[in-house]
Structures are given as C-alpha cells and as structure tokens.
C-alpha cells in the first residue's frame, strides 16, 4: 500500500491559484494529501472521484459561488460527515 493512500485527503476549492498552491504546500508539509479545484463545478467532480476527508471551500468564487457549491456538496453528503470549512480573503 502506498503511504499517500493512508494520508487524510483535503479538497481545496478556490479560484485563486496562489491560495490553492499555498494550501497544498502547507497541507503536504503536515502529512495531508491535497486535491485542488479551481472552481465549484470542478470541486464537486473531484469530490465524487476521490475519498475526501475535509473540504476547504472559498466563499467567493465566480460562476458557482462557495455557498452554492456548499449546498450541492451538503446535498451529496446526507449520509456521511465530511466537514466543509468556508474560507475567504475578504475582510
């Protein structure tokens, strides 16, 4: 078994590439696997593809907003408990 498969997996959904890369670097340094999505639609697709333990979700994104993405993910999470942490760079 690959050691990466045993790491907790965090899905980072943020339209800002800098935020995604900083999150990825910090998560990996702390023994987490990071899956990165540039928008809500991509994030939902990746959530359905991978076994995700935690979601970091940007509050404000163009297109499908963070709130709409959260609603869609929550609808899919009815029978499981994956925490969704909303993040934002706004004051």
Query: Over the stretch 71-86, which tens digit does the pLDDT of each residue have?
Result: 999 887 776 789 999 9
The whole-angstrom distance between residue 8's C-alpha and the CA centroid of its chain comes to 12
> pLDDT band at residue 1, thresholds of 50, 70 and 90?
very low
The whole-angstrom distance between residue 42's C-alpha and the CA centroid of its chain comes to 10
Closest CA to 85 of 17, 75, 69: 69
> pLDDT band at residue 4, thresholds of 50, 70 and 90?
low
pLDDT tens digit sequence for 24-66: 999 999 999 999 999 999 999 999 999 999 999 999 999 999 9
């Amino acid at each position: 078994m690959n050691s990466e498969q045993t790491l907790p997996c965090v899905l980072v959904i943020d339209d800002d590439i800098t935020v995604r890369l900083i999150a990825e670097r910090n998560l990996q340094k702390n023994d987490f696997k990071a899956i990165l999505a540039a928008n809500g639609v991509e994030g939902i697709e990746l959530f359905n593809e991978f076994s995700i333990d935690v979601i970091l979700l940007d509050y404000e994104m163009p297109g499908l907003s963070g709130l709409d993405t959260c609603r869609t993910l929550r609808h899919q999470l009815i029978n499981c408990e994956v925490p969704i942490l909303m993040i934002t760079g706004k004051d």
